[in-house]
A = this chain, B = another copy of it.
Amino acid sequence: MSAETSRIGQSAGATGDIVISIDAMGGDRGVADVVRGMGMSLEKNPRLRYIVHGDAEALKRAIEKDPRLAGRSEVRHAEGVVAMDDKPSKVLRSAQGTSMWSALAAVKAGESPVVISCGNTGALMALSMLALRKAPGVDRPAIAILWPSLSPAGYNVLLDAGADIRADADDLLKYAVMGASYARNALGLKRPRVGLLNVGTEEHKGRAELHEAAERIAEVAPSSDFEYIGYVEGTDMPSDRVDVIVTDGFTGNVALKTGEGTARMIQGLLKEAFAYSILSRIGALFALTSLKRLQKRIDPRRNNGGVFLGLNGTVIKSHGSADATGVSAAIKLAFTLADHGFTERLAARIAVGPHEPDRARKGLPS
């Protein structure tokens, strides 16, 4: 079911109707890369408008240099910056006055449906929960990430990638519903295939909470517009037999980082291999275009952005080391979600409760 809501295509022209709230501080590369990313995105997509939070002087200086941003960026000054190594507990005490808090406040106030921050993940989750509160029916919010895959969309969704180290059967059920909704809106899949991450595909494998979650997810799948395909394994992470992979945040975080580490190691060895001899260097030259296409396919900057699901507002965590290309990818994702009215759609999915059998007939959003 994909009831196109009125929001999509509501804007007649290039009018900056989609507002993104951006925390410009706290990343590893500073304000200039964030502003450059904003400019890159606006050049491709004139419907964007920004509210950007941080050191007003630095921001204004950077924005004035970029004619693409003229008239489309509102700067909100914030003195404080949440540092990468600040503990969430400390951040919670001194949140007011930070750029992260200011960016979330704009979403809370309804000025923007989505916030982007390159800052500290733990702090961003803690402040997001404080500012936006958990959506009704959600006990544990989750972080959903896009995993390069052989699926037609080019990505699979993995959640939870590390919002919480625990998840019981009920949390996993909510993750399935939220992940499916995210896949519909971010990847345009009508009926995503959802799998539950386990150590084997046989029914008797794995922990008790997985068995309970498996039963309940299978139950709600027909009325929740996704297909439950059963257990999947680590090898399925990049496979095309699944679109949404559901797991607890501990396992998801280890899997995510293991995949990143493996990819980085192979890329390093590949570089070494090509640098090894005159012949291999010549080979690399001939194959350059093809290799660049491969590089692009698995470039972590292009699927930059973990999305916090289960809050009253959408929060995108961009990589701390994101450059302008990375920031621009996060903005593109933010735009897509905002344009689809994702926050409201997701809230409707969860609030009605996954056991509601009449969902389809009621014309509820995806």
Taking Cβ atoms with an 8 Å cutoff, the residues of A that contact B are: 87, 148-150, 162, 165-166, 197, 199, 202, 204, 206-207, 233-239, 247, 249-251, 253-266, 268-270, 272-274, 276-277, 279-280, 282-291, 293-294, 297-298
Contact = CB atoms under 8 A, between A and B. Distances in A.
A258 B237 contact: yes
Contact of A262 (B237, B249, B251): B237
Contact of A280 (B255, B257, B286): B286
Contacts of A279: 286-287, 289-290
**What copy number does this chain have within its complex?**
2
B251 A236 contact: no
6 contacts: A233-B254, A233-B257, A234-B260, A251-B251, A274-B287, A282-B286
A276 B289 CA distance: 10
A122 to B, nearest CB: 8
A269 to B, nearest CB: 5
Contacts of A280: 286-287, 289-291
A283 B273 contact: no
Nearest to A295: B273
A253 to B, nearest CB: 4
A270 B283 CA distance: 14
Contacts of A298: 266, 269
Given A162-B199, A235-B257, A285-B283, A293 B264 contact: no
Contacts of A235: 257-258, 260-261, 264
